[in-house]
Structure 1
C-alpha cells in the first residue's frame, strides 16, 4: 500500500474545523487531482494543508508485455463518473489510459497504449456503443489487434460495424475481424482484399465417365468458385440436388447466365442425366452444342409452342415415373431398385429466357369479332394461350415431380409477376443464383428469399471488367450465401468433349409437329400437317419398342436411340 501526498496553501479564512469549508476544499482538489483525498495535517502558522489518499498500486503485465497498474478509487466514486475519473487519472499518469473502471470494487486500471491502439480502441468502442475503457486492445506483431470486448457485444448487431472498423478506421479493405462470442475475445487481422482469377476453366477431367459416378456424387453439380476472405481462400462450390428440385438463376443480358448453365448442362450429361432444354428462338444458339444430346423430343428452343410441348412431356415423364415409384412402394427415385434407376436416370429441365417465354402482349381493347379473326390477332391470342400453358407446366414440375428424379433450372432476367414469374413458380426453387456484380436492392429482393443475408460484390471486383466477368451471388439451400464466379469453357471444347465421351445422341431431338399438336391447343392457326394429324394413337418405330413390345423409356430409350443413330450413320456412310 502507498500514500499519495499533496500540500496546498489555504487562505487565512480557512477553518479546518468547519465541515463546509473542508468539503468545498476537498471538492476542488478532487476536480484537479482525482477523488479519495483526506486531510492529514494543517500548519496554522504557514497556512499549509496536507492531504493524502491511498493509491494501492499493483503492477501487472497485459497481453503484449506492456505494463499496467491498478489504482484504488474512493468509496464515493459513482459508476457514471468514468469519464471524469479517466481524465484525472490520465492527467496524473501521462502515457497511461484508463482501460478498466470498476467503481463497485473500488479500483481502476491504467494501461500504457500506443497511438494505433488508442485509435483502434476508440473506433471499436464507438462501433459497440460503449465507453472506451470497456474495450481492451493490444497491437499484435503483424500490425493487427487483439481485442477484449464487453458483454454488450452481439454478432448480429456488431459484426458488420467491426468489419467497417477493420477496413476503414484501422486498416484497409481486406482486413477482417473474428470474434469468439463465448469468450468475448477477438482479433483484427491484416490481409489482402480477396479477388477472383480472370477465369476459372471448367475442369472436364474432374468428371468421371457416367458409369463411374457414385450415387453420392450424382446430384452434386459444380457451379463455380466462391470468394474467400476473413483468412479463408477461394473454394469450389457445388449445388446439391439430392433433396432439392433445382434452382432459379437470375441476371440481366450479358451477365453470364447462359455461360454458367452450359457448364451445368455438360456436368449432368456427363453424369448420365436425361436433359430437356427450353429457350426462346432468338437465344437457341446458346445451347445448340447440346441439341444432339437431349432426350428424345426434349429440344424446346425453336418456338414457344415447342417449349410448351417439351414442358408437358417432362410432366408426362414425371407421371410415368410416379407410377413406377408406386409399383415398388418407394417414395423417391433414390429408393428404386438399381436396374430401374439405370433405366430411368435423373432428368434435368433447363428453361432459359423465361421473361420472354412466359409473357405475351395483351389484345387491344375494342376488337370486334371480325378483327379478332385477323391473322395478327389470332396469333396474339395463340401467344397468350401458350404463355399461360407454359407457366402452368413449369410451375407443376418442381412442385410435383422432385421425388421422380426430375430436376430443374429456370433462368430469367426478371423473376417477378410482371414477367410471368409467379410466387408459386419461384416458391418451389430452393437454390437461388444471381449473376451480375451490381444488382439493385429491388432485384435482389425478387431473386432471393432473404436478400438481407446476401452479401454485395466487393467494389474491387465489381469495377474490374475482367475479374468481374461471370461473377454473381448464390444462396444455395442449407448454405450460407456467397459471392462466386462461374466456370467457363469455349463452346468448341464442350462439343469436342461430348463427342469424345460418346454422349447418347437423340434420333429426333425436337418434338414432332404431331406431338406439338397433341400437347398445345391451336386457335385457328393453319398447320402444315393434314387435318387430324397427330390426334390418333402414336405409331412407334421398331427401335422404340422393347422385347415385350412396349415403348422404351428413360435410359433404355436413350441407349436404343444411340444404337439406331449409329446404324443409320453406317448405312449413310456405305452409300
Structure 2
C-alpha cells in the first residue's frame, strides 16, 4: 500500500525555547515523546510518523510517515559518497534463497579482497549486500553498502527476530534522526505479522538499545521503526482528572491512569463502562489501595446519577461514611451480617420489580425502557466489600456440646453466611439486565472467601490492587494471567508504585494502572472528604447520615432467619418492643397440660442447628434447581 500522507512540520519554539540540538540524544528523545503524544491524540494525522529532519533555523521538525521511502534518499546519498554500489548479475543468480546466499557470499568475499580503487575500504567497516533489484528479464542488480560493525550487528539481530537469520539482506536497515533504526522488509520474501513477530521484536529492540526503547510497525508496507526511549512511569500521585469531576457518565466510571505506552509521558484514562460491564471485581490486600479504587468508582457512578447500596463488614464500614447520604432506603448493609442479608434481598426485590417493568414494556432489558421510566428507576450500584467476612462458608468446630454458646453462635452465623452467599450469587446472575451494577471486593477472590467461579464469571471487569501480588491471586482474578503484565520492579524501586495494580476492563487487554488520589493535609481533608465535596456540588444528597438504615423488625421481616439470632437482635437500639408475658411464662390448654412446654420452640444449639439446616437446604434446592436437578 503506497504511503500518501504528506510530510508535516512541528513548531519547536514552545517545546525548545532555547533551541534544539539535533545531535543531543535527550533533545531528540524529548521530541519523539512529543510526536507520540500527538499521535495518541490524533492517530489519523500523526500516527506512524518519525523525524525526517530539523529545519536549518531549528524552528521546525520535519516529520514523515514511516512508510515513506526516505531510506531511498539516504541510500542515494551513500551512493554519491561511494559508500553504496550496485553490481550487475544474471537473474538466475538471484532466484531462490539458497542461490541468493551463494551469490551474497561470493560478492562480499570479492569486495573484501578487492583492490579496485573505486571500491572504498575503511577501518571497522565491511561491504554487505543489502538488496537484489531486478533490472531486466535476464539481469539483476545487487546493492551493497559499506557498513560499520554496529549496523551489521543490529541488522543480524533483527533478521533473527524476523526468522531470516541466514538471509539478512532481505531487510534494509537505516539509522534515523532520532538515533534509532528504520527497517524495511522486502515484500517478496517476508511478510511482517505483528502477532507472530512483535514479542521477539521488542526483545531485540531492548537488546540493541536499552530498556524503554520501543518500535512501531506498519504491516501493510513492511516497515518497522525503532525509537530510543525511557521506561514508562507514573508520577508519585495522580490527581483525579477534570473528566472525572465533571464528565463521568454511565460509560465512563473513571478510576485510574493506564501505564503510558512506550514513548509517551502520559497514559490513557481508565474507566469502567457500567452498561457493558456491570459486574466489577476488586481484589487486593488490606492497606494496598483497595478502598481508593472503590471510592473512585463509587464517586464516578454517583456523579453519573446512579443510586447506591452498600454492604460491608461493620468494623470497616467507615470507608463508606462519605457517601452514605446518597444511599437508597434500606440500602445500608453495614451494621451487621443481618443488615447485609436484608440489603441484598432488597436489591433482588428491586431486580424483580424492574423485571416486571421490562416485561410490561416488551423490552429486552433495562436500557430499552422509556427514558422517564429509567429516570424513576435509576441505575443502581451495589457495593459489597470485605465479602470474606460475611459470605464465606463457616465450619462449626467439632466436639462442642449442643448448648455451648460458641456452637450456638456459629451454627447461626453459618446459616446467615450461606444466605448472604446465595444472595450475592443470584444478584450476579440476574441483576445486570435490570440496570443493577455490582462491585464485589475482597482480599482474595476464592471460594473460601465467598467468591467462587460461579460468581466471578459474571464480573467482567477485574481489578487487582497492589504492586506485588502472588500468582495465585492473579490466576483467580484475571482471565489471562499468563499474558497479563506485572507492575515493573523499576516502578517499585523508584517509589511510584503506591496505588498501582493490574486490570482487565470489560474483556479488554490487561494493563498496569495507577489509581487517582488527592488529599489536602493543610486543611485536614482526606481523599473521601474531597470526593464528598465535589459530589455535593454536582449532586446534592437526598438522605442524611442515617440513610439506608435497617431497624431490627424490618430485617426480620425481610430475612426471617434473623429472628433466630442468639441475642434476638438486642444489639439494635431501636428494638424496644416489650416481650410478651405469654412468651415468657407460657399458657395452659384445655386439658391442663403446659402448652408452652408441650409446644415449646427449639432453643439453644438445637434451634441454631435447625435454622442452619433450613438455610442450607434452601441453598441446596436453589442450586439444584438452577442445574436442572
Q: TM-score range by the shorter chain?
A: 0.7 to 0.9
Corresponding residue to 1:425 among 435, 445, 455 = 455
Note closer, same or farther for the CA distance 1:280–1:64 as it changes in structure 2 (3 Å cut).
Answer: farther
Corresponding residue to 1:99 among 88, 112, 130 = 130
Match of 2:497 in 1: 468
- Provide, for residues 319-338 of structure 1, a one-character-per-residue CA deviation record: whole Å limited to 9, x for no partner: 11111222222222222223
1:147-296 to 2 correspondences below 5 Å? 147-149=183-185, 151=190, 153-167=192-206, 169-203=207-241, 206-208=244-246, 217-232=249-264, 233-296=266-329
User: How far does residue 73 in structure 1 lie from its aligned partner after superposition?
Assistant: 6.4
Whether 1:309 aligns to 2:342 is yes
Note closer, same or farther for the CA distance 1:115–1:302 as it changes in structure 2 (3 Å cut).
Answer: farther
Equivalent residues of 1:353, 1:411 under 8 A apart: yes
Match of 1:414 in 2: 444
Match of 2:474 in 1: 444
- In 2, Cα distance between equivalents of 1:195 and 1:119: 30
Tell me the secondary structure at the aligned position of residue 426 of structure 2.
helix
- In 2, Cα distance between equivalents of 1:361 and 1:478: 33
- In 2, Cα distance between equivalents of 1:290 and 1:323: 30
User: How far does residue 484 in structure 1 lie from its aligned partner after superposition?
Assistant: 1.6
Match of 1:128 in 2: 162
Match of 2:626 in 1: none
Tell me the secondary structure at the aligned position of residue 509 of structure 2.
coil
- Provide, for residues 346-383 of structure 1, a one-character-per-residue CA deviation record: whole Å limited to 9, x for no partner: 1100111123332244123355xxx1332211221222
- In 2, Cα distance between equivalents of 1:441 and 1:68: 56
1:35-74 to 2 correspondences below 5 Å? 63=75, 65-66=77-78, 67-70=84-87, 72=89
Note closer, same or farther for the CA distance 1:64–1:287 as it changes in structure 2 (3 Å cut).
Answer: farther
Tell me the secondary structure at the aligned position of residue 262 of structure 1.
helix
- Provide, for residues 29-81 of structure 1, a one-character-per-residue CA deviation record: whole Å limited to 9, x for no partner: xxxxxxxxxxxxxxxxxxxxxxxxxxxxxxx9765743242452696898447
Match of 1:144 in 2: 180
User: How far does residue 113 in structure 1 lie from its aligned partner after superposition?
Assistant: 2.1
User: How far does residue 409 in structure 1 lie from its aligned partner after superposition?
Assistant: 0.9
Note closer, same or farther for the CA distance 1:266–1:532 as it changes in structure 2 (3 Å cut).
Answer: farther
Match of 2:146 in 1: 112
- Provide, for residues 437-482 of structure 1, a one-character-per-residue CA deviation record: whole Å limited to 9, x for no partner: 23343322211112234222233223333x2111122211253332
Q: Calculate the TM-score normalised by the size of structure 1.
A: 0.73
Whether 1:343 aligns to 2:376 is yes
Corresponding residue to 1:324 among 357, 365, 382 = 357
- In 2, Cα distance between equivalents of 1:303 and 1:74: 86
- In 2, Cα distance between equivalents of 1:109 and 1:76: 14
- Which range moved further: 118-127 or 312-321? 118-127
User: How far does residue 206 in structure 1 lie from its aligned partner after superposition?
Assistant: 4.9
Match of 1:555 in 2: none
Q: Calculate the TM-score normalised by the size of structure 2.
A: 0.67
Match of 2:529 in 1: 492
Tell me the secondary structure at the aligned position of residue 210 of structure 2.
coil
User: How far does residue 145 in structure 1 lie from its aligned partner after superposition?
Assistant: 0.6
Whether 1:357 aligns to 2:390 is yes
- Which range moved further: 100-109 or 339-348? 100-109
Note closer, same or farther for the CA distance 1:280–1:109 as it changes in structure 2 (3 Å cut).
Answer: same
Match of 1:526 in 2: 567
Corresponding residue to 2:432 among 402, 405, 420 = 402
- In 2, Cα distance between equivalents of 1:328 and 1:62: 69
Tell me the secondary structure at the aligned position of residue 372 of structure 1.
coil
1:19-34 to 2 correspondences below 5 Å? none
- Provide, for residues 117-146 of structure 1, a one-character-per-residue CA deviation record: whole Å limited to 9, x for no partner: 222212212223322333321111211111
- Provide, for residues 394-417 of structure 1, a one-character-per-residue CA deviation record: whole Å limited to 9, x for no partner: 111132121221111111221122
Note closer, same or farther for the CA distance 1:531–1:402 as it changes in structure 2 (3 Å cut).
Answer: farther
Equivalent residues of 2:252, 2:274 under 8 A apart: yes
Q: CA RMSD of the aligned region, Å?
A: 3.0
- In 1, Cα distance between equivalents of 2:219 and 2:260: 22
Equivalent residues of 1:99, 1:111 under 8 A apart: yes
- In 2, Cα distance between equivalents of 1:252 and 1:65: 61
- Provide, for residues 148-170 of structure 1, a one-character-per-residue CA deviation record: whole Å limited to 9, x for no partner: 23526432232111111112x22
Tell me the secondary structure at the aligned position of residue 224 of structure 1.
strand
